[in-house]
Structure 1
Amino acid sequence: MAASNAVTRHRVKPLYCAPFFTGSVFTSMNFAALGLAPELLRAVKRCGFQQLTPVQEQAIPPARRGRDLLVTAQTGTGKTAAFGFPLLQQLLEKPRATQPGHTRALVLAPTRELVEQVADNLQQYAHFTSLTIAAVYGGVKHSSQANKLQAGLDVLVATPGRLLEHVELGNINLQQVEFLVLDEADRMLDMGFVGEISKLLNGMGKKPQILFFSATLTQSVTTLAKEILARPLSVAVSKRNAVADTVEHLLYPVDQARKYELFMELLRTHNWFQVMVFSSTREEADKLINALKEDNVEGAVIHSEKTQGARRRALKEFKEGKLQVLVATEVAARGLDIQGLDYVVNLDLPFFIEDYVHRVGRTGRAGSKGIAISLVSASDEPKVALIEKAIGTKIKRVKIKGFEVTESAVDSTKPKSRFAKATDTKAQAKAAPAKKAPKANGRPARPKAKTSTKAAAKSGAKASRSTQHSAKKPRSR
């Protein structure tokens, strides 16, 4: 896609609304009971929304009344609508002409993909209004975004880093921000955006209403929430680190060196059509996609080193069913909504346990069933125990004949931590017999100066203590 499309202000787009849960996850309350503006209710009908999900039922009414919210909800629960409709409703209730270089509402999200997705959904919700909505993210030229920002907006959806750059360039001013949404706040903190968020908040005039959404409630999330929220109402529709009940978790034990072989066996045996595979590093993701291409499997990869155009194209083709496998790193683990995705595979387990929740959250969405598969070697077992503790359930193990684990729990061929290396070095030094000093010109080599100095210093210290002891006089009474 051309760089100029990085900021969009039009309202007429192909219909796409985030899907809703079905069946028992609905509440008895419907959108008609919220008292939304007729323009928004028309959009609700156009999107096919009827009853509210739990997070929407609990968040929309107080958000409409202007309360700060701290919302903890797992992915795929309809969070965008939970903050989108009350935000748009208040903008319609308090109409005001947009000012050049200003925005009335700001939504911050961690990744380019999530920013685009949120902006697309808000545009659908505002389809029958005159509200202007823009998306701003990195990976494209600033100049392609500057003109739209300088014209003024009702709602701006942005990544923190790129928005801060535009603020510093003078393309936008945040003094008139009335409403602020932090979407996937925990992920933004994980990615190191806390500094950018603080600077953006400091650039605002009076304190805006803040809707704080997070999939997990970590210590850093709690700390930030306390700093920026004013008497917030807490909304928790799931326990900490919860995953959807619609996701089935499976664990396949396998040697590290045979993970790709087992993945291909499962892919062919079960005839999976669309599957998202997560890898913890860009290098491993690239290796995997190259191997898939050699095996004539249609696939693509998305990670931070890929251009924005390549990432958009890969996601588009995967959603359209043109690709069988989409390989991704953590950059895609949050917020992406891929309808009908049945399988998520962890080629390796994530570095952070919370990221397991976000990875598997790509499946089992909108009430559909999903399967989360992890290929686990012996060295991954400690992480498995932590993940099971985090999600509150034991993961079923499936053993495949011919792929029995032969590795030990600790693989000595893998890099160790500095602590482990240091411990091993000390143990080896202690166990190793003393080596004779090499000869030089037929004579024993002279001891190194460091050793001699150290020994002398040690000896001197002993002698000094001995002298001081003997020189002590009895205390006079």
Structure 2
Amino acid sequence: MGLPGPLVKKLTAQGISEPTPIQSHAIPHALDGHDIMGLAQTGTGKTLAFGLPLVAGLMEQRGKPAPKTVRSLILAPTRELVGQIKDALIPLVAGTPIKVGMVVGGVGINPQINRLARGLDVLVATPGRLLDLLDRGALTLDQTRFLVLDEADQMLDLGFIHALRKIAGLLPAERQTMLFSATMPKQMEEIAASYLTHPKRVQVSPPGKAADKITQCVHFIAKAEKPNLLIELLDAHRDELALVFGRTKHGSDKLARRLEQAGYAVAAIHGNKSQGQRERALKAFRDGEVTVLVATDVAARGLDIPDVKHVYNYELPNVPENYVHRIGRTARAGRDGMAVAFCAPDEMGELKDIQKVMKLTIPVASGRAWEELPDPTAKPQGRKGPARGAKPGGGPRRRRRRGGGGGGSRAKAA
């Protein structure tokens, strides 16, 4: 593919000999100096798709970076993803003078300021902490010639749009930029226009498509019964790693305590946990000391733990694309995986949105779909009456079971 020989040898030493589709499409364009707009789901090899041409370009540069400068910048939405990108790049630059560093929130800023004082070839950062450091004068971006935005759509979801606009204004016009995203929301067009110049567009799997080896199912179950059903399903594979997704920080902690009482080795990660707590929880999960990890969507992107066999959507996400990212934590690197969703009455809207995005109907493991009913408090709208399930002002819908059926012991059939 035109990569430098020493870089190919490093890949061979890691057992990597064949590029993934996103790597095959992106790397040749990137090596030719083009800007890249890459659309691909997590778990498709995006880190090396931008990491390899980035390192190849740095290998051609002479001298050291000036103090308080970075030759290349990689922006990612979460601390976990920043750490994983750095860990993936370190073996590629081993034995070279190329220096890689990372900056994230949740840890002391002074050691990061001291590290940046010497200059870096590659800086991997979250946008918020990067702006903090720029405001303090700890670094400048006027010598940054390579820029990567990874999981750009999640950066928008997390509210980094203003930070990205500000960072864009601090970068040199003469640079190469690679933007990777799993989806293309409307705001992404604005970001792409701000950052990219005549980009080459590469896409390997359509947005909303999950890995082929993920077996999916849904349980229609009352909210109060979810903990019992989860424990019942987890009991069937106590020795296998399971990732459980909830919506809120408080709810995730509460569920983790419930599972701990049931005898599981469990940990929780979310935005209120310190960086050290999150890293310790992930390491314990990766090492098998913890077999159940309860997480909010902070963990949905970029986490590469190949041995995760089961993903539980204990609560369905508000953003349908996040379902795809959540279940993408299983079936990594060609393995099989199981994705189980729980759907309470007030989550039917989320389930329908998920199935619309994925262009499929998730098989039912137990229970029957909740039926939307008109709200008796809604005012009639002409002869047709109120829309099914609608409530003036966008209020919550009332739903009920269409017939019986519940999770309970029948879930074992899944």
Structures share a fold, TM > 0.5? Answer: yes
Instruction: Assess if the C-alpha contact under 8 Å between 1:99 and 1:152 holds in 2.
Output: yes
Provide the residue aligned with 1:111 in structure 2: 78
The offset of 1:288, in angstroms, is 0.1
Paired residue secondary structure (1:221): helix
Distance apart, 1:122 and its partner CA: 0.7
- Structure 1 residue aligned with 2:314: 347
Whole-angstrom distance in 2 between the partners of 1:370 and 1:312: 24
Aligned residues: 384
Query: Do the aligned partners of residues 411 and 262 (structure 1) sit closer, same or farther apart at CA in structure 2, a change above 3 Å counting?
Result: farther
8 A Cα contact 1:43 1:128, kept in partner? no
What's the counterpart of residue 61 of structure 1? 28
Q: Counterpart amino acid of 2:393?
A: F
**Contact 1:116-1:135 at 8 Å conserved across structures:** yes
- Report runs of 4+ in structure 1 exceeding 6 Å deviation: 405-408
- After superposition, residues 364-443 of structure 1 pair within 5 angstroms as 364-399=331-366, 404=367, 409=372, 419=393
Residues 303 and 418 of structure 1, relative CA distance in 2, 3 Å threshold? farther
Q: Is the 8 A contact 1:40 1:128 kept in 2?
A: no
Contact 1:273 1:324 in 2 (8 A): yes
Per the alignment, residue 9 of structure 2 pairs with: 42
Match of 1:157 among 115, 124, 128: 124
Please list every run of 5 or more consecutive structure 2 residues that lacks an aligned counterpart in the other structure: 376-389, 399-414
Say which SS state the counterpart of residue 342 (structure 1) adopts.
strand
Alignment of 1:209-220 (within 5 A): 209-220=176-187
**Is this contact kept in 2: 1:177–1:204, CA < 8 A?**
yes
147 and 417 in structure 1: CA distance in 2 versus 1, 3 angstrom threshold: farther
Q: What amino acid maps onto 2:294 in structure 1?
A: V
Deviation, 1:206, is 3.0
Match of 1:262 in 2: 229
The answer as to 2:62 corresponding to 1:95 is yes
1:86 and 1:353 mapped to 2: Cα distance?
Answer: 32
CA–CA distance in structure 1, aligned partners of residues 153 and 71 of structure 2: 24
Shift of 1:255: 1.0
1:218 Cα deviation after fit: 1.4
CA drift of 1:293 comes to: 1.4
Offset of residue 321 of structure 1: 0.3
**SS of the residue aligned with 2:179?**
strand
> What corresponds to 2:284 in structure 1?
317
Aligned to 1:302: 269
Query: Which AA in structure 1 matches 2:15?
Result: G
AA aligned to 1:237 is: V
CA spacing shift, 1:119–1:410, aligned 2, 3 Å: farther
Matched, 1:186 2:153: yes
**Cα deviation digits, residues 214-236 of structure 1 (max 9, x gap):** 01111111221123211111001
Q: Which among 239, 243, 247 is matched to residue 214 of structure 2?
A: 247
Assess, with a 3 A threshold, how the Cα gap between structure 1 residues 256 and 155 changes in structure 2: closer, same or farther.
Answer: same
Contact 2:168 2:194 in 1 (8 A): no
**1:102-124: per-residue Cα shift (whole Å, max 9, x none)?**
01000000000100100110111
Task: Work out which of the residue numbers 171, 175, 184 in structure 1 matches 2:138.
Answer: 171
Output the CA distance in 1 between the equivalents of 2:397 and 2:327: 37
RMSD over aligned Cα atoms: 2.1
| Aligned AA (2:146) | F
1:72 matched to 2:39? The reply is yes
What is the distance in 2 between the residues matched to 1:146 and 1:311?
A: 22
Does the Cα contact within 8 Å between 1:255 and 1:407 map onto a contact in 2?
no
Q: TM-score, normalised by structure 1?
A: 0.77
| Pairwise CA distance, 1:242 | 1.8
Instruction: State the distance in 2 between where 1:423 and 1:64 align.
Output: 53
Matches within 5 A, 1:222-241: 222-241=189-208
Q: What residue in structure 2 maps to residue 17 of structure 1?
A: none
Query: Residues 188 and 194 of structure 1 are in contact (CA less than 8 Å); yes or no, is this contact kept in structure 2?
Result: yes
Structure 2 CA distance for aligned equivalents of residues 303 and 422 of structure 1:
27
Which whole-Å CA distance do the structure 2 matches of 1:360 and 1:150 have between them?
40
CA distance in 2, matches of 1:144, 1:161: 17
Q: 1:423 to 1:259 in 2, by over 3 A?
A: closer
Distance 1:395 1:328 in 2: 22
Of the two, which has the highest radius of gyration?
Answer: 1
> What is the aligned counterpart of 2:52 among 73, 79, 85?
85
Amino acid at match of 1:58: H
Alpha-carbon contact 1:379-1:409 (below 8 Å) kept: no
The structural deviation recorded for 1:364 is 1.2
Secondary structure at 1:289 match in 2: helix
Asked whether the 8 Å contact 2:2–2:28 carries over to 1, the reply is: no
Q: Does the 8 Å CA contact 1:379/1:410 hold for their aligned counterparts?
A: no
Distance in 1, matches of 2:73 and 2:146, equals 6
Letter paired with 1:419: G
Q: Distance in 1 between matches of 2:397 and 2:292?
A: 42
Report the TM-score when normalising by structure 2.
0.89
Instruction: Select 1:124's aligned residue among 91, 98, 121.
Output: 91
Cα deviations by residue, 1:380-425 (Å, 9 ceiling, x for unpaired): 22221211111122111011xxxx579764799xxx988256999x
Q: Conserved in 1, the CA contact under 8 Å of 2:37 and 2:201?
A: yes
SS at match of 1:309: helix
Change (3 A) 1:369 1:279: same
Identity of matched residues, %: 40
